[in-house]
Each structure stands twice: as C-alpha cells, then as structure tokens.
C-alpha cells in the first residue's frame, strides 16, 4: 500500500487503441523527463535526449498531433510565478511574526506530493500553489484553445499524456480537474508503456528521423525543460520571477544551488526590487517523499523557514519516477539529469516568459497570468483528506521510508 498512490500502475493502453478504432483525433503530450529516458527502452544509450525520435514514434503509432508538456511547464511558471510574486508582496509587507505564520508557498505539479499534503499535512493546503500541473494545464489547453485553432470539437479529441509517473494516472480523475463538464486528459501512459508499444509495433526507434512537436503548443523554453529534475521548477521559476521583481535578469541562468541530486537543497536569493529595497527569498527543495515529510516537520516546528518550496515525491524528481525504465546502472539518475541540463542549454529561449508561443496564448486566449480565464482553466483546489490515512505517531518519517 502506497500512502500517496504513486505506485499504483494501471495500463491505459487499451483506451488508446479504443480511441483510434473510434476514429477520434489523437493528441499526445510528452513530459520533460520522458525524452531523456525513452531511449533506454528502445536501444539508445542512457543519457541521450531523444525528443525528435519520440515525437516520430508517437506519430508512427497513430497520433494526429504531438504537443509538448514543456510548453505548459512554461505556462505553469507564468501562473505559479505570478502567484508567488503576489504572495511575497503580501509577506514582505507584513510584520515578521505575521510573515512567519504565512509559511512558504509549495509547488503543486507533483500529484503524489499533493496527495501527501491533503492526507498528512492538511493544515498546509492553503500554502499549495493553486496552479494545476503542466500535464493538466495541457489537457485544458488542448480541449479549448488548441481544439478551436484546429477546428476540432473537444469531444472528438482523445488526449493522452506520456509521463514518467504512475501517480499521474490518478491525477486525471481528480474531480477538481473536470473542466466544462469534461475530463481534459483521457489517459496516461508511462515511459515504460510507451517503450512497450514501440517494441510491440516493431518501430526501429534509433533509425527514426527526428520529428517536431505541433504548434502552437509545441515550443518550450529551457526553463520548461527543467521540470523533469529535482530543483528544475525552482530554477525555472527564479529565472522569470527574479526578472519581473528586479527588472533585470538573475545573474546566472544555471542556478547552482538548485542543481544536483541531493534530497534536500536550500538557498537564499537576494532580490533588489526594481521599485524598492532588496528583499530575500528563502528557497527549499525536497525530492523523495521521506525528505519532504521530514522537511515539513521541520517547517512546522520552526526549525526551517522558507518562502518558496519545491517538492517532488520521487528521488531526483520525475527523472526517477515510478513509470520510468528500470535500470541497474547506479549512475542512471545522474545521466538523465545531465541530459535535462543539456536540453535546457540547447533551447533557443531559456526563460518561460520569452517563449513566443506562451506570449501568443496570453495575447489570443488567456489575457494575462492569473486572469479569470486562467483561473478557470489552469488552476485548481484541494481537499482535506486526512481521514483516509492513519497518522504516524512520531514527528519523523525516517522509520517509515528511508531518506535518499
Ligand atoms: Fe510523478 Fe514522481 Fe514526478 Fe511526482 S516526482 S510527478 S510522483 S514522477
């Protein structure tokens, strides 16, 4: 029994076959961590970025369109970054005692982490960012903006996501994610399931020519690509939030304190506000659920104080997700992480707000970050579900789950 639902694996492959047989328009999205690991399933050495071949394989499997979850990772930065700025402005205006009581804002893109807060730390529900995960944002965008652009009825679209994650299979069924009476993501295939399909259909993956994602929701900045690793959401958010608050770029694009595979990382960022004094943003990053739980107990006890905390339930973040290829290589997480950093460096734009397709979607559809329409389609709510689990008797989880 997994308390966060992250080890539940139910195959959704039959849903895809049924949708193809029904003649639906098939739209796939692929997460940042999948392109650096799918090759391991299909004869490509670990640590290579296989984005173009992955898109080509999905087209060969019958997808009409393949769009990029990294695009909605950029959208997440716009929405979550705006929310962070607004929370921080209130916090910086408060007294130190009031600011302490406010606590940090937590990221919300990992469904296992969200389940964990809802069941074990419901007193922190208001601290979770209301931004939906990039996968769920993409579902909303595909069945509204993209459907309209392509002149397809939303009900004729079958939209599935290829994820490194088994918990994502449960996230698509959250009732808070139903939009306009519709489920926005119809199925989730893990990286391993995609590998299985590619092999079953005898697709020669290494020999495939590179294919491109479909526009106008297929372009991503390097920031969006970082979501596949621990520290990536933080680094991506800092690139945009710092620039908005300070009116100038963060000195370095590769923010070293957020990098690497440590289970807990922390740092302070000094932000010279463009219209005021210099303020400090205290950041925390946890990967692996036991590290996150220990960090939570420290926060509650006042032993750690942060303003913005990124949590990913899997060791190393999504690159070590439950749906990723199994490997006996002791350096596998390092290799996948290095591939993600390379993918960031190769991007034409490195910051979410500089992605031209992000600028276009706000201009044509959402208006501005955190607008009414953005709240309706890109944000969510949470519920106290503490009654579903027996609470542990101690204030540490080390005896339950070994820290990484
Ligand atoms: Fe899923 Fe793990 Fe990534 Fe969380 S960290 S979204 S559980 S793969």
Question: What lines the ligand 1 site, CB under 6 Å?
Answer: 6, 110-112, 164-165, 167-168, 312-314, 317-318, 321
Round the average pLDDT of the chain to a whole number and report it.
Answer: 94
- C-alpha pair distances (Å), 110 with each of 152, 233, 258, 394: 30, 11, 17, 25
Q: How far is the CA of 366 from the centre of ligand 1 (A)?
A: 27
**pLDDT at residue 398, as a whole number:** 45
- The closest residue, in CA terms, to atom 4 on ligand 1 is 110
Q: For 124-246, where are the E strands, in sequence order?
A: 157-163, 187-190
Q: How far is the CA of 99 from the centre of ligand 1 (A)?
A: 30
With residue 242 as reference, give the H or E element that holds it. helix 232-246
**pLDDT at residue 403, as a whole number:** 34
**pLDDT at residue 394, as a whole number:** 52
- Rounded to 5, what percent of the chain is helix, strand, coil? 50, 15, 40
- Strand 105-106 and strand 65-68: pairing? unpaired
Which ligand 1 atom minimizes the distance to the CA of 166?
A: 1
Q: How far is the CA of 162 from the centre of ligand 1 (A)?
A: 13
Pocket residue to mutate for ligand 1, from 37, 114, 115, 313, most atoms within 8 A of Cβ: 313
Contact 260, 231 (CB under 8 A): yes
Question: Distance between CA atoms of 115 and 301, rounded to whole angstroms?
Answer: 22
Pocket residue to mutate for ligand 1, from 171, 318, 319, most atoms within 8 A of Cβ: 318
Q: How far is the CA of 323 from the centre of ligand 1 (A)?
A: 9
Report whether pLDDT(399) > 60. Answer: no
pLDDT tier, 389 (very low <50, low <70, confident <90, very high otherwise): confident
**pLDDT at residue 390, as a whole number:** 75
Report whether pLDDT(24) > 50. Answer: yes
Report whether pLDDT(363) > 90. Answer: yes
**pLDDT at residue 150, as a whole number:** 98
- The residue-averaged pLDDT of 301-306 equals 96
Report whether pLDDT(127) > 50. Answer: yes
**pLDDT at residue 180, as a whole number:** 85
Give the orientation angle of helix 13-21 with respect to helix 191-200, to 10 degrees: 50
Question: Distance between CA atoms of 195 and 263, rounded to whole angstroms?
Answer: 28
pLDDT tens track for 225-283 = 999 999 999 999 999 999 999 999 988 888 999 999 999 999 999 999 998 899 999 99
Report whether pLDDT(3) > 70. Answer: no
* Tokens 């139910």 belong to residue: 10
Q: Which comes out higher in pLDDT, residue 397 or 33?
A: 33
**pLDDT at residue 2, as a whole number:** 57
**pLDDT at residue 307, as a whole number:** 98
- The residue-averaged pLDDT of 80-95 equals 96
Looking at the predicted complex, does its ipTM rise above 0.90?
Answer: yes
**pLDDT at residue 213, as a whole number:** 98
Q: How far is the CA of 111 from the centre of ligand 1 (A)?
A: 7
pLDDT tens track for 171-215 = 999 999 998 889 999 999 999 999 999 999 999 999 999 999 999
Buried b (16+ CB within 10 A) or exposed e, 6-17: beeeeebeeebe
Structure tokens at 401: 């789950």
Q: What share of the chain has pLDDT > 70, as a percent? A: 94
pLDDT tens track for 97-120 = 999 999 999 999 999 999 999 999
**pLDDT at residue 376, as a whole number:** 96
**pLDDT at residue 1, as a whole number:** 46
H-only helix segments in 94-142? 96-102, 111-120, 134-141
- The residue-averaged pLDDT of 48-55 equals 98
- The residue-averaged pLDDT of 5-11 equals 66
Which ligand 1 atom minimizes the distance to the CA of 164?
A: 8
Q: How far is the CA of 340 from the centre of ligand 1 (A)?
A: 16
**pLDDT at residue 147, as a whole number:** 98
pTM of the predicted model as reported, rounded to 2 decimal places: 0.94
Q: What share of the chain has pLDDT > 90, as a percent? A: 90
Contact 53, 206 (CB under 8 A): yes
- The residue-averaged pLDDT of 50-63 equals 98
pLDDT tens track for 312-327 = 999 999 999 999 999 9
């Amino acid at each position: 029994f997994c308390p966060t639902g992250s080890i539940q694996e139910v195959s959704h492959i039959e849903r895809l076959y049924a949708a193809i047989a029904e003649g639906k328009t098939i739209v796939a999205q692929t997460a940042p961590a999948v392109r650096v690991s799918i090759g391991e399933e299909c004869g490509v050495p670990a640590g290579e970025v296989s984005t173009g071949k992955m898109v080509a394989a999905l087209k060969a499997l019958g997808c009409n369109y393949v769009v990029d979850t990294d695009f909605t990772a950029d959208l997440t930065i716009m929405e979550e970054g705006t929310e962070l700025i607004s929370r921080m402005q209130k916090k910086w205006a408060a007294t130190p005692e009031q600011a302490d009581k406010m606590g940090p804002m937590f990221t919300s893109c990992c469904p296992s982490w969200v389940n964990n807060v809802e069941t074990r730390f419901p007193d922190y529900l208001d601290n979770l960012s209301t931004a939906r995960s990039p996968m769920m944002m993409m579902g909303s965008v595909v069945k509204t903006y993209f459907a309209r652009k392509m002149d397809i009825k939303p009900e004729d679209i079958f939209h599935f996501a290829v994820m490194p994650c088994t918990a994502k299979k449960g996230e698509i069924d959250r009732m808070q994610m139903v939009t306009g009476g519709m489920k926005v993501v119809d199925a989730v295939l893990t990286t391993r399931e995609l590998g299985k399909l590619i092999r079953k259909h005898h697709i020669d993956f290494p020999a495939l020519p590179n294919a491109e994602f479909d526009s106008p929701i297929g372009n991503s900045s390097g920031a969006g690509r970082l979501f596949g690793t621990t520290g990536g959401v933080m680094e991506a958010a800092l690139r945009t939030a710092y620039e908005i608050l300070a009116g100038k770029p963060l000195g370095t694009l590769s923010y070293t304190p957020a990098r690497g595979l440590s289970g807990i990382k922390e740092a302070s960022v000094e932000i010279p506000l463009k219209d005021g004094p210099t303020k400090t943003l205290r950041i925390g990053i946890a990967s692996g659920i036991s590290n996150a739980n220990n960090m939570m107990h420290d926060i509650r006890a006042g032993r750690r104080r942060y303003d913005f905390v990124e949590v990913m339930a899997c060791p190393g973040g999504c690159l070590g997700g439950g749906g990723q290829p199994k490997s006996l290589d002791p350096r596998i997480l390092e290799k996948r992480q290095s591939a993600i950093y390379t993918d960031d460096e190769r991007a034409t734009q490195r910051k979410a707000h500089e992605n031209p397709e992000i600028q276009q979607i706000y201009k044509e559809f959402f208006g501005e970050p955190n607008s009414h329409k953005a709240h309706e389609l890109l944000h969510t709510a949470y519920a106290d579900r503490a009654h579903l689990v027996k609470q542990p008797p101690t204030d540490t989880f080390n005896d339950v789950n070994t820290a990484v």
